[in-house]
Amino acid sequence: MEMKPPFRKIIHVDMDAYYASVAELDHPELRGKAIAVGGNEIRGVVSAASYEARKYGVKSAMSGVLAKQKCPHLIFVKTDFARYKEISSKIRGIFYQYTNLVEPLSLDEAYLDVTENKKGNPSASLIAEEIRQKIYSETGLRASAGISINKFIAKVASDINKPNGQKTINPEEVLPFLEQLPVNKFYGVGKVTAAKMYNLGIFVGNDLKKKSLEELVKLFGKSGAHYYNIVRGIHNSKVKPNRIQKSIAAERTFIENISSEIFMIEKLEHIAAELERRMIKSETKGKTITLKIKYSDFTQQTRSKTKTTFMQSKKDFFPVVKELLFQEKLQNSVRLLGLSFANLNTVIKEPVWVQLQFEF
């Protein structure tokens, strides 16, 4: 099995330090400073960090307390999702000027298939450069991009010349590139799998490529076939413009830890109301409700229940929430509670594909 033309032309656009850059855009006095979006030096978790803060080891999902220890001059700013969504909408509008095959991954990144595009431009690299320039001129924000024959390689490439850069991996460069790529950069290889590969002497793509399909399946189960293909440049996942949301959630971190279920019911009432609002706004219903509990020692627990009918209204799903809360005794005081819906009433619509071969 090997790569065969015609090759698709995929761009992965990734905004540079998006949340922090939006904060700098709205507050120019913050430019060039170490910024953490979300949390504070007492409570909460960092959602994003500016590049200046990252130099000190500050990163997303880190507690605000630890972030401040690593970077004493760190400036905390509040999240502003309404603003992030507003600018993200403008950026996606730019994408759609070039192609309808846009698959948003989040507010700040997306895949674009420009094999055929509205500009009739045969160069995906030039399209990516033009898109990045437009984003900057229309929003004041910088973006990086990766360009290649499939989503996986394009995503890896977008990280190579960050920030404010782009990298193209042409078809003839794909296999040599993958052979030198560290295995922890491969799609589907997490920390546990990477550690297992290291123990087997598999450190880069070339090491992985030496293993037969049978060996990889024996070592990694069904994922073995995926690793066998991906190191050979075979990754046929299409850009899905109708990518659906698989879950909807709402959560809250508390200023002080909570120990009583009675107080938690009050907090969950507010979280449930927000979840209901989001469900109604997205015209979504769900069957599986999950309660997320993060304890004061940062350990986390989830409790879920699936109903036979779809739910959207708080009056329908909140009794299930209370049932989940009292399902078992709490392990510790609680710093965060969250609710989410899965098994949503969404339908996947597959796009119609026509592949043509152009020069990169």
> What are the strands, taking DSSP E only, across the chain?
10-15, 35-37, 48-49, 75-77, 102-106, 109-113, 143-148, 166-168, 248-258, 286-295, 300-311, 334-344
Superfamily of domain 175-230: 5' to 3' exonuclease, C-terminal subdomain (1.10.150.20)
pLDDT in tens, 105-124: 989 999 999 999 999 999 99
pLDDT in tens, 19-33: 999 999 999 999 999
Provide the CATH topology of domain 19-80: MutS, DNA mismatch repair protein, domain I (3.40.1170)
pTM: 0.74
pLDDT of residue 84: 93
Of all residues in the chain, what percent carry a pLDDT higher than 70?
95
- Find out if CATH 3.30.1360.30 is the number for domain 248-344: no
DSSP state of 8: P
Tokens of 38: 């979300």
Tokens of 134: 């437009």
Tokens of 149: 């024959």
109 is catalytic: yes
- 84-108 in b/e burial notation, b at 16+ Cβ within 10 A? beebbeebeebbeebbebbbbeebb
pLDDT in tens, 41-80: 887 889 899 999 999 999 988 989 999 999 999 999 998 9
Q: How many angstroms separate the Cα of 111 from the Cα of each of 15, 20, 64, 173, 220?
A: 12, 22, 32, 20, 28
The catalytically annotated residue of 24, 52, 103, 109 is 109
Which of these, 270, 281, 241, lies nearest to 85 by C-alpha position?
Answer: 281
Could you check whether 10-17+82-173 and 248-344 share the same CATH topology? Answer: no
Helix, strand, coil share of the chain (percent; to 5): 40, 20, 40
- 334-348 in b/e burial notation, b at 16+ Cβ within 10 A? bbbbbbbbebbeeee
pLDDT in tens, 218-235: 999 989 999 999 999 998
pLDDT of residue 244: 64
pLDDT of residue 2: 65
Tokens of 209: 């490529």
| pLDDT of residue 351 exceeding 50 | no
Per-domain residue ranges for the chain? 10-17+82-173, 19-80, 175-230, 248-344
pLDDT of residue 90: 96
β-bridge partners, 286 = 311, 344
Instruction: Report whether 219 contacts 200 (CB < 8 A).
Output: yes
* Domain covering 10-17+82-173: architecture: 2-Layer Sandwich (3.30)
Instruction: Taking residues 147-170, report their average pLDDT.
Output: 96
Average pLDDT over all residues of the chain = 91
pLDDT of residue 40: 87
